[in-house]
Amino acid sequence: MSGTILILSVEHDPHARHLAPMLRERGHEVIVFDPARYPVSAGLDLAYDGQGSVRRTLRLPEGDLALDELASVWFRRPGSPVAHPEITEPGAREHVERQSEALVSDVWDDLDCLMVPASRTVLRTAQRKAAQLRLAGRLGFTLPPTLISTDPEEFLDFYRRHDGRVITKPIELPWARGGGEGAVFVRMTERVSTRDVGYADALRYGPIIVQAYVPKRLELRVTVVGDAVFAAEIHSQSTNRTRDDWRRYDLAATPHAAHDLPGGTAEQCRSLVRALGLRYGAIDLILTPEGRYVFLEINPNGQYLWIERLTGLPISAALCDLLGSAGTTDPIGAR
């Protein structure tokens, strides 16, 4: 399977299921693999000779894959290894899964091929919200006034300075498990109410991002694939459900359209993705009523398929171009 493109993602991921046939139509060999299958229904062998040369093989029921001959890898949304069901003792399961995760992570990070968006090491750094804001500011983006703190007094001072027009959002993932029976707690971007202020002292238990509220004409999802920039406008103010966070999805009442991004802003988006060591990134911006573009954050592995289907932007074709470009000049040095 020389020159194969490997897509790492969970089973039934719509993005992987959409892109794999497109790549095959272009003549590429494609394997879609979820690391959650390892070590139960997939094997991984690493063999080293006395001089340090290595032969790495992913063993699948459909055939062996020589990882050292891969053309490229799309690190889409892989699951984590799961221990064999015959291992029932919780401590033993945790140990096996931790060892398995350590091995597959090591292998993916060490592959000498085109990695999209980037290696796991680069992705972990690129996901850090505080570093994103600092870098975006250095590149000339306008930022919302922001506070990240566990100090209730700092929060209250920030709240007063902005006349109570502030929002909060989580540092990392917007969901957490808890409450029994696998319940999932989701916290999106939220406006701070006067009632919330009464609980300001709880901030001392953990950090949160606080930002001045930015008035919106539109919200923008800017997807960067290599050097290509695809901007989509999301009319989030058309419905109360999406007014503060379009991720509450009300697609029937929220118009989407391609957006003509000014050249300078488009170049800032390219520069941000490159500076983070990425080949792909999904950037969230606000267009204010006065016409200013304000940076919110970048998701190094953000979803795009709904944008493509609603706007016709050819993002999948650009991803196929990128994944099939192994061996050409690569502007990103980091793998």
Residue 263 banded pLDDT, cuts 50, 70, 90: very high
CA distance 200 to 15: 40
| Positions of E strands within the chain | 5-9, 30-33, 43-48, 54-60, 63-66, 72-77, 114-116, 146-149, 166-169, 175-177, 184-186, 190-191, 208-212, 218-225, 228-234, 256-258, 280-287, 293-299
Which tokens hold the place of 329?
């000049």
Interacting residues of 271 by C-beta distance below 8 A, sequence separation 6+: 139
**Lowest-pLDDT choice from 144-148, 236-240, 281-285:** 236-240
pTM of the model: 0.89
Mean residue pLDDT across the chain:
90
| pLDDT tens digits along 153-168 | 999 999 999 999 999 9
| pLDDT tens digits along 60-112 | 998 999 999 999 999 999 999 999 999 999 999 999 999 999 999 999 999 99
Quote the DSSP letter at residue 193: P
Residue showing tokens 């190094």: 300
What domains appear along the chain, each with residue ranges and CATH number? 5-112 (no CATH), 145-212 (3.30.1490), 215-314 (3.30.470.20)
- Rounded mean pLDDT of 166-194? 71
pLDDT of residue 193: 83
